[in-house]
Amino acid sequence: MAKCKCGNRPRIVSNAVQSMSGNGAGSGNNNGSGCCVDVCTNPICADPSVLSLMAPLIYDEIGINLCASFAIGTDIATTYPTVTNATLKVINAIYGYGTGDVLIESITGRPNCYVVTLSNITIQFAMDLYDAAGRLVATVYPTALFLPADTSAATYDEDTNPSSVELEIFAPYGLSYNTAGAAPTPIINFQGFAATNNYVRQGLNLYAIAKILDFSTDDSTVTAGLTLVLQSLYFAGYQVNSAGKIDTPKGSILTPDNSDCMRFVAGDLLNLAIKPLDLGAGSCPEQYKQDCNAQSPCSNNADDDTVVIPGIGAAAVAQEASEPAPAEEAPAE
């Protein structure tokens, strides 16, 4: 970093700007003429070979599979009688912190790792309902309690949906905190599909993927498998090789009409390309207007974009253009 004193305040210039705007060719960043480039006034337009990125890096993650059966909350057979199948997506997870809920604890003597207890997590789903032809009929939004602390809950199962699980995770740069209260408290960010959680944060993150294992339209229940993944994530600057910019496919707002009119409007402009007649004294001018009805590259059926004036054939013109000019007579002595 370069540093100068401008009044009472020091000004620090980044190494990149300083090296590009240095004097002379010794900096190694000249533009070919021995003069360096001041990017503050003349930014360089080019594609870089190396990209400098602030990347979210996953340091550790661990996942578990759960399963539970629950009511959808809508009478499918009555409300949507044509529905035969469905898909399931997790959009949100609701949980609290503390004993009986989600708990984050450091490990004595192992400062880079934490034990996370997951319990009492309510999952909100988006459930798309389809008919036998695969048409979307409706979308409903059921919720279900996973890892219920209360063993009398309807979704509790000792083997497939126990009351809690403990996960140990490597998180060397620590946790994220909620600073809204009187004292900061550690949190786990849930990555879902709601407007409030469809992004990642530094620290601990949790995300879920769902799959329908059984769907009953008669009693409006679903059995869902749920994958929960806990990860530690931190942002860091990295340089990666570039394969070039993305070539975005271009869509067209025009109708896919392939008529003659559409091809003409989208094609090249017309041009008068027929060679004018030589009105001077040429050779054999009486042959210029023979063969008037013959087709030629300049006829109305030609593939190029030329215009033929009706009544003027082009075959003779083309022949005249290909013939060598007559030799001049030698002057008499």
pLDDT recorded at residue 120: 97
Please state the φ and ψ torsions of residue 303, each to the nearest 5 degrees: -85, -15
Which 3 state secondary structure label does DSSP give 277? Answer: coil
pLDDT recorded at residue 268: 83
CA pair distance 36, 30, nearest whole angstrom? 4
CA pair distance 165, 115, nearest whole angstrom? 10
pLDDT recorded at residue 312: 45
Lookup: tokens for 73? 């909350």
- The rounded radius of gyration (Å) of the Cα atoms in the chain is 38
Lookup: tokens for 209? 């993927």
pLDDT recorded at residue 260: 83
Arithmetic mean of pLDDT, 106-130: 97
CA pair distance 197, 91, nearest whole angstrom? 9
- The percentage of the chain sitting over the pLDDT mark of 70, rounded to a whole number, equals 72
Indicate the Cα dihedral angle 24, 26, 28, 31, nearest 10°.
20
Lookup: tokens for 288? 């210029």
pLDDT recorded at residue 318: 47
pLDDT recorded at residue 178: 93
Arithmetic mean of pLDDT, 190-195: 95
CA pair distance 302, 229, nearest whole angstrom? 67
Q: What is the mean pLDDT of the chain?
A: 82
Arithmetic mean of pLDDT, 17-31: 53
Sign of CA dihedral 174, 178, 182, 185: negative
pLDDT in tens, 285-298: 556 565 555 555 54
Indicate the Cα dihedral angle 93, 97, 100, 103, nearest 10°.
100
Element holding 274 (H helix, E strand): none
Sign of CA dihedral 35, 39, 43, 46: positive
pLDDT recorded at residue 266: 78
* 102, β-bridge pairs: 97
pLDDT recorded at residue 5: 55
Arithmetic mean of pLDDT, 253-258: 68
pLDDT at 326 over 60: no
pLDDT at 24 over 50: no
Burial state string for 113-124 with b = 16 or more CB within 10 A and e = fewer than 16: ebebbbbbbebb
pLDDT in tens, 136-185: 999 999 999 999 999 999 999 999 999 999 999 999 999 999 999 899 99
pLDDT at 44 over 60: yes
Helices vs. strands in the chain: H and E counts, helices first: 4, 15
Q: Alpha carbon of 222 to those of 66, 88, 98, 140, 242: distances in Å?
A: 14, 10, 30, 12, 46
User: CB–CB of 317/289 below 8 Å?
Assistant: no
pLDDT recorded at residue 278: 62
CA pair distance 234, 53, nearest whole angstrom? 13
pLDDT recorded at residue 25: 42
The domain ranges of the chain are 1-32, 56-241, 256-323
pLDDT at 300 over 90: no
Query: If we measure between CA atoms, which residue out of 138, 139, 156, 137 comes closest to residue 147?
Result: 156
User: CB–CB of 56/233 below 8 Å?
Assistant: yes
Query: If we measure between CA atoms, which residue out of 26, 21, 3, 5 comes closest to residue 13?
Result: 3
Lowest mean pLDDT among 24-38, 94-108, 263-277: 24-38
pLDDT at 261 over 60: yes
- The percentage of the chain sitting over the pLDDT mark of 90, rounded to a whole number, equals 56
pLDDT in tens, 203-219: 999 999 999 999 999 99
Pairing of strands 143-146, 185-187: unpaired
